[in-house]
A = this chain, B = another copy of it.
Amino acid sequence: MILSRSAAYGVRAMIDVATVADGGIAITREVAKRQDIPQVFLTKIIQRLAQAGLLEAHRGAHGGIRLARPAGEITLRQIIEVMGGPLFMNYCLFRPGECPREKDCPVHDVWLEAQEKLLETLGNCTLAYLAERSKELCSKQTNSANQSK
């Protein structure tokens, strides 16, 4: 699996906050419940996202978490990067210069191309888009549920 669980959880949590709180504050416990993420584990993930400047955490009564930036300025790539990737195809791209055959390696450019496409796809996808899409999907589901009554 390319994504770790932490990364997938992190993405889900961020989308949840963006969708439900809509700029306001969400409560970790409720995010965990909605997204089926072990609660204590989620707090770890939130800490990382907060330290990286993607979330703001507020302690105390009526505390919680909120996006630290507008949803349109947060991309999947950023979230996954914060959660420890991996966003490198191979060691030679992670630590350029360490591989002695870098210059005359016939696959090097293929790894690079694959990696860049991946980063592009993830970098073009913002939380705002995902939250919007989430709402669409949700309303669609509600509609079809109503229709089937």
- Could you list which residues of chain A lie within 8 angstroms of chain B, going by C-beta atoms? 1-3, 5, 8, 11-12, 15, 36, 76, 86-91, 94, 100, 103-107, 110-111, 113-115, 117-118, 121-122, 125, 130-131, 133-134, 137-138, 140-141
Count copies of this chain in the complex. 2
Chain B contacts of A121 at CB under 8 A? Answer: 110, 113-114, 117
Q: Give the CA-CA distance A131 to B107 in the complex, in Å.
A: 10
Chain B contacts of A141 at CB under 8 A? Answer: 103-104
Identity of the chain B residue whose Cβ is nearest the Cβ of A87 in the assembled complex? B2
Do B130 and A122 touch (CB < 8 A)? no
Do B110 and A125 touch (CB < 8 A)? yes
Q: How far is the CB of A100 from chain B (nearest CB, A)?
A: 8
Identity of the chain B residue whose Cβ is nearest the Cβ of A19 in the assembled complex? B106
Contacting residue for A8 out of B76, B90, B113, CB 8 A: B90
Chain B contacts of A105 at CB under 8 A? Answer: 137
Q: How far is the CB of A90 from chain B (nearest CB, A)?
A: 5
Do A90 and B125 touch (CB < 8 A)? no
Chain B contacts of A11 at CB under 8 A? Answer: 107
Q: Give the CA-CA distance A104 to B86 in the complex, in Å.
A: 26
